[in-house]
A and B are shown apart, each in its own frame.
Chain A
Amino acid sequence: MNSMLAVFRFEMNRILTPGRAFWWVVVAAFPVVIMLLMTNYIQFPPGARVTQQNISTMFTIALYFVAPTISCMLGGLLIAAPAVASELEQHSWVYLAVRPNGLFYLILGKYLVAVVWAASATLVGVTAAVAVADAENQIAAATAMEEQPSVAAHEQQSSRQRDQPYTNATGTLPGIVRSSEVLVAMAGLATLSACSYSALYIMLGTVFHRRAMVLCVAYTAGVELFLGFFPAVINRFTIQYRLRTLLFDWTTQSEQFRQSRVLEFVASDESVFAQIMWLISCIAVFLAITLVSVQVREFTSASETDV
C-alpha cells in the first residue's frame, strides 16, 4: 500500500504542470459550456408544446452524455491510456521493473491518478453545469420578481409548471428540475465512469502499448459510442449500457419519455445492484489483465539494448 501511494503521490506531482492543469480545466468546463449553450440557444419551433419535465429530461441526458461519459472518457484517455507507453518511450520503465513488484504498484498508482484526475474534473464540471441549468432556481427567481409569492405558493407553482406544457418563449430555457437528485446521480455516475473507463484504457494501453492512444480512441468511438447505443444485445457488453441504466434508475424522467420504447433498447431492466456489480467486475477484470500483462510480457526491446 505504501508503494502504491508513493507512485500515486509522485505521479500526482508530475501531472501538476500548467499543460495538464489546462486540460483539467478544459474537461471540467466542457459540461458547463454545453449547458450554457443549451440554456441560451436551444429554441423550439413556434407553437411547440413541450413540458418542463421533458426539457429537464433532455438536459439530464445531455449532462450525462457530456460529463460522466465524454469528460470521464477524456480524462481516462489523457492519463490512463498512455500509462505504460509513456514509461516505455522515455525508457523509465526499467527503473520500476527492477523494484519488488514495481510494475504492479506502477499500474495501480497510475490507475488511481487517472481516476482522481477524471473524476475530480467531471465532478467539478457537473456541479457547475447543474448550477447553470438549475430550473428550480430560475423559476423561483422569475416568480419572485413577478409576484413575490409565499413559499407554499411557490412550491405549488413550481409543481404545476413541471407538469404543465411549456411553450417556448424567448430568453433562457429552464433546464434541470430536481437538481439535487440529478447532482447526486451524476456524482455517482462520474465516479463509476472514471473508475471503469480508466481501467479499460489502462488495459488497452498496456496490451497494445505501441498504439495505445489510437486504439483507445478507436475503441471508444466504435464500441462505447457506436455499439453502446446500438439497439441490440451487443450494447449490453459496454460500460455505457450499464451507466445509462443507472442514469435512468437514479433520475426522474418525463412521463412521455418513460412511456416511449427507447428505454427497452438502451437500458437494462435489471437492478441497480446488478449494474454496479457488473461495472465492478469489469474494473477487476480489466485491472487483472493489465497486471498479468506487465508481469508476463517483456517490454524491454532490442533497441534498449546495444543489439
Chain B
Amino acid sequence: MNSNYLIELEHVTRLYGTVIGVNDFNAQLKPGAYGLLGPNGAGKSTLLSLLTGQLVPTRGTVRVLGESPRNNSRLMRKIGFCPGYEGLYATTTGLDWVTLLLQLHGVRWRPARERAADCLALVGMSNDMKRPISTYSRGMRQRTKLAQAIAHEPTLLFLDEPFSGLDPIGRAEMTDVLNDWIGLGNSLIIASHVLHEIEALTDSFLLICGGRLLASGTASEVNELLFDSPSEIEVDCAEPYRLASVLMENELAVSASIEQNSHGTDTVRLKTLHAGQLWIQLSGIITKNGFTVTRVKSADDSLQTLFNSLLKIHRGEI
C-alpha cells in the first residue's frame, strides 16, 4: 500500500451515461502543489470527485497516497476537500458547522470548537464566525469552506475554484494562507480555469480539456509546447496590405484580415500555423521592409484557445 506518489491515475475513464467526464487519464504525481487547469466543462471537478472517492471510475484505477479513495475512512483523515459549489447550511453559524465537521473526525466538542475557531480566524472569519451562514457574503462562504477543509490538518488538500467570489484583497489573503500551507510541506491540488490564480501558488500544472490530460509540467514547459502551435496575431500597422502580403509570401501566415480602427491605424489579424517562427522572424521583416508598427499582440491569448491548440496536438491533428 505504500507509495511514493501523491496521486496515481491509470487509464481512468468516467462516463455519465453517454457523456465523458474524464477520458483515459494517466498521471503520477509526487507530493507537492499542482494546478489543475482547464476551461469550464473540462472535467476538473469530476477528477476531484474521483480523487476524493465520491465517484468510482468507469474504467481504470485511482490511488491517492497509495490507497483507493472510495469508502476509505483512513484516507479521509489525511485529505481535505473544498468543493466548487457552496452547500452550506443557511441557518447554522460558520463556527457550529466547522465544529461538526471536526467532530466527525472523532474530535471531542470542546477541542473541536477551539480548533474550528482558530481555523476560521486563520482565514479571516474571526469577527463573523458566530453569525448564521445565510448572512455571509460569497467571499465569506469561500473562506468558511477553506476553514473546514484545513481544520483537521490533512496532508493533502483538494480545492475546486477556491478564489471564486473573492475580492482582490481576499484572493491575496487566501493565497498567503495556501502558500503557508504548502510551505509546511503539505500537498495541494487546486482546480481553476484562471491561470494567474494558480501561478501564485505553484508552477506545476496539469492542463486538462474534454476530460483528457493535454499537458503537464511547469509554465515554461507548457509555453515550449505551444511554441510552434497555431495561433492568431494582431499587428497595428500603417501599411497593412503590404505587411500581410510579405508575411504570406514568406509562408509565415496562412490567412490575414484587415480591420480599420477608429484612431486611424489599421489592424492586421494574421492566422499562423507556426507561431514560434512568426514571432522570431516578424521583427526582421518589419525592419527590412521599413513598416511602421505601433502594436503587436497575440489575438487569442485566452485559455480556451490554448486548450484548443493542445487538444488538436493531443488528437494528432497538428
A7, B100: Cβ atoms under 8 Å?
A: yes
Residues of the B chain whose Cβ atoms lie less than 8 Å from the Cβ of A13: 92, 96
- Contacting B74 at CB < 8 Å: which of A14, A100, A105? A100
Q: Are A304 and B73 in contact (CB under 8 A)?
A: no
Question: A127-135, A137-145, A158-166, A294-302: which one contacts chain B?
Answer: A294-302
Q: Please name all residues of chain A whose beta carbon is closer than 8 Å to the beta carbon of B89 when the two chains form the complex.
A: 14, 90, 92
Q: Judge whether A3 and B87 touch: CB under 8 Å.
A: no
- Are A305 and B21 in contact, with the CB atoms below 8 A? yes
The answer to whether the Cβ of A43 comes within 8 Å of any Cβ in the partner chain is no
B79 at the interface (CB under 8 A from A): yes
Interface size on B, residues (CB 8 A): 45
Give the residues from 82 to 134 in chain A that come closer than 8 angstroms, CB to CB, to chain B: 90-102, 105
Flag if A105 contacts B104 (CB, 8 Å).
yes
User: Do B54 and A94 touch (CB < 8 A)?
Assistant: yes
Minimum distance in angstroms from A177 CB to a CB of chain B = 46
Closest to A87 in B: B87
* Contacts known (A6-B109, A17-B91, A307-B43); A94 close to B83, Cβ less than 8 A: yes
Q: Considering the chains assembled together, what is the distance between the CA atoms of A52 and B175 in angstroms?
A: 79
In the complex, residue of chain A having the shortest beta-carbon distance to the beta carbon of B42: A306
Residues A1-56 near B (CB distance < 8 A): 2-3, 6-7, 10, 13-14, 17
From A3, A295, A298, give the contact of B104 (CB < 8 A): A3
Q: Contact: B106 with A10, CB < 8 Å?
A: no
Roughly how many angstroms separate A17 CA and B109 CA in the complex, as a whole number? 23
**Which A residues lie within 8 Å of B105 (CB)?**
99-100
Q: What separation, in Å, do the CA atoms of A90 and B80 have in the docked complex?
A: 20
Contact A306 B41 (CB under 8 A): yes
CA of A304 to CA of B45, assembled, Å: 8
The residue in chain A whose Cβ has the minimal distance to the Cβ of B17 is: A302
Which residues of chain B have C-beta atoms less than 8 A from A14's C-beta? Answer: 89, 91-92
What 1/0 mask marks residues of chain B from 79 to 123 whose CB sits below 8 Å from any chain A CB?
111011111110110001000110111101100000000000000
Q: Is the CB of B88 within 8 A of A92?
A: yes
Whether the Cβ atoms of A307 and B76 lie closer than 8 Å is no
Interchain CB contact (< 8 A) of B46 among A2, A101, A307: A307
B44 at interface by CB-CB < 8 Å: yes
Which of the residues A99, A302, A305 comes within 8 Å of B101, measured between beta carbons? A99
Other-chain residue from A3, A95, A295, A304 in contact with B103 (beta carbon distance below 8 A)? A3
B87-A91 in contact (CB<8A): yes
User: Of the candidates A97, A105, A307, which one forms a contact with B16 in the assembled complex, judged by CB atoms under 8 Å apart?
Assistant: A307
- Give Cα A304–Cα B43 distance, bound, in whole angstroms: 11
Query: Contact between A2 and B45 (Cβ–Cβ < 8 Å)?
Result: no
Interface size class of A (residues with CB under 8 A): 20 to 34
Cα distance A99–B148 in the bound complex, in angstroms: 11
Could you tell me the distance between the alpha carbons of A295 and B73 in the complex, rounded to whole angstroms? Answer: 11
A7 vs B102: C-alpha distance when bound (angstroms) = 11
B45 in contact with A307 (CB, 8 Å): yes
A91 touches B85 (CB 8 A): yes
Beta-carbon contact of A98 and B87 below 8 Å:
no
Give the docked Cα–Cα distance between A6 and B91 (Å). 17
Which of the residues B85, B88, B148 comes within 8 Å of A304, measured between beta carbons?
A: B85
Please, how many angstroms separate the alpha-carbon atoms of A94 and B109 in the complex? 22
Within 8 Å by CB of A94, from B41, B71, B80, B87, lies: B87
Chain B residues closer than 8 Å to A302, beta-carbon distance = 16, 19, 21, 46
Report chain A residues within 8 Å CB of B73.
100-101
Q: Is B55 an interface residue (CB 8 A)?
A: yes
Q: Is the CB of A98 within 8 A of B103?
A: no
Chain A window 237-277, contacts with chain B (Cβ cutoff 8 Å), 1 for yes, 0 for no: 00000000000000000000000000000000000000000
**Contact among A6, A96, A97, A306 for B44, CB-based, below 8 A:** A306
CB closest residue in chain B, given A16: B91
Complex Cα gap A307–B16 (Å): 9
What residues of chain B lie closer than 8 Å to A98, measured between beta carbons?
52-54, 76, 79-81
Please name the residue on chain A nearest to B40 by beta carbon: A306
The interface residues of chain B lying within 8 Å CB-to-CB of A91 are 83, 85-87
* Bound Cα distance A166, B80 (Å): 72
Nearest B residue to A295 via CB reads B71
Residue of A nearest to B109 (CB): A6
Residues in chain A near residue B55, CB distance under 8 A: 298, 300
Q: Which one of A17, A101, A295, A300 has the highest number of Cβ atoms from chain B below 10 Å of its Cβ? A: A300
Residues of B within 8 A of A93 (CB): 87
B59 within 8 A of A: no
Cβ contacts A to B, 8 pairs, < 8 Å:
A10-B92, A13-B96, A91-B86, A95-B87, A99-B76, A105-B104, A299-B54, A306-B41
Q: A95-B83, A99-B105, A304-B83 are in contact. List 4 more A-B contacts (CB 8 A).
A: A100-B104, A300-B55, A305-B45, A307-B20
Q: Which residues of A contact B (CB under 8 A)?
A: 2-3, 6-7, 10, 13-14, 17, 90-102, 105, 295, 298-302, 304-307
